[in-house]
Amino acid sequence: SQQGEEDPQALSIQEGENATMNCSYKTSINNLQWYRQNSGRGLVHLILIRSNEREKHSGRLRVTLDTSKKSSSLLITASRAADTASYFCATEGGGFKTIFGAGTRLFVKA
């Protein structure tokens, strides 16, 4: 069963625009992570936010977490063609098992 559900399933934007992806989950978590997957490659970890944190930044990435709404968002600012990839949220709860969502496919047009 999927814990994280990403929204939208696909997103197409112009280079330079911001991209926002959302993730909703169902049960309590210890942390939430975002990963990127380029076509034909494995996943690469982007950022982790703990359940007691509300916002976190890493370069052009901004992640927010609202545990009352069981939701998170990933914002990529000033997007580049190289940001074209699939983005997955992953939640870690009791038992330290990580559950991945189905992902958002981002396409950045040059």
Partner 1 sequence: DAEITQSPRHKITETGRQVTLACHQTWNHNNMFWYRQDLGHGLRLIHYSYGVQDTNKGEVSDGYSVSRSNTEDLPLTLESAASSQTSVYFCASRLREGDNEQFFGPGTRLTVL
Q: Which of 12, 14, 44, 66 binds partner 1 (CB under 8 A)?
A: 44
CB of residue 37 vs partner 1: minimum separation in angstroms?
Answer: 8
Query: Dihedral of CA 25/27/33/38: which sign?
Result: negative
CB of residue 105 vs partner 1: minimum separation in angstroms?
Answer: 11
Which residues from 1-20 bind partner 1, rule CB under 8 A? 1-2, 4
CB-based contacts of 41, cutoff 8 Å, min separation 6: none
Query: Dihedral of CA 65/66/70/71: which sign?
Result: negative
Q: Which of 41, 54, 57, 109 binds partner 1 (CB under 8 A)?
A: 41
Residues in the chain: 110
CB of residue 110 vs partner 1: minimum separation in angstroms?
Answer: 26
